[in-house]
Amino acid sequence: MTAPERYPGYDVLSKRNTPSWNEQTRRAIDQRLAVPREPQFFSEAEWQTLVALCDRIMPQPPHRPPVPLAAYVDRKVRLDHQDGFRQAAMPRQQEAWRRGLAALDEAARQAHGGRRFHEITPAEQDALLRQAQRGELDGPAWGGMPSAAFFVDRVMHDILSAYYAHPTAWNEIGWGGPAGPRGYVRMGFDKRDPWEAAEARPGQADKAREENRRVG
């Protein structure tokens, strides 16, 4: 059963040609929506593992097009957009991702009769990821990189950041994109500006949907 929308009828892309967005915002969003859906950095084998990993970290509903998480991670790693900090035990992100994906594949092979990570069941994938989160995966394929650090600093950080960089996720949380140039005026508790998304209160989904048709 599909969960009710929190911001029914809201589409942040309807703000594109309104005072809420300026040319810089439009250009940034266009670039995000145009990211290729095939790998530009990772090999085909790495891509298969990354896609399966993204599906377990951020499952997406079947009633809408998915956010292309693997493509966003691939772009970040290819362009080497870094975070400004790095744990001493972690290699640079390009090496960390390549090493971590290979290590997950190797852990899957050892535990599941030679099958790679994308070939095992979702429950088996989740079990391996819980081991990684607890720092219990180790071996030559990790090259000394702690599995827990890879899980937190790369897997969770990069995949979740990718999800919430996409307008689809903004629709789900009622976010309007960058505050400028329009900004926000009504800053009091439980107040919103007319150009912000209306949240559906119990029994008032139709009212929120009608208000969200006018958001711009």
* Arithmetic mean of pLDDT, 54-65: 95
Least confident stretch, 104-108, 122-126, 162-166, 189-193: 189-193
pLDDT: is 189 or 78 the higher one? 78
Angle of helix 44-57 relative to helix 93-111, nearest 10 degrees, comes to: 80
CB count in 10 Å sphere of residue 130: 12
Give residue 2's pLDDT. Answer: 64
Q: What is the mean pLDDT of the chain?
A: 94
pLDDT in tens, 78-93: 999 999 999 999 999 9
Q: State both tokens at 196.
A: 């912000």
pLDDT at 1 over 70: no
Listed by start position, the domains of the chain span 12-20+176-213, 37-167
Structure confidence by residue, pLDDT tens digits, 137-149: 999 999 999 999 9
DSSP letter assigned to residue 121: -
Is the predicted pLDDT of residue 103 greater than 90, yes or no?
A: yes
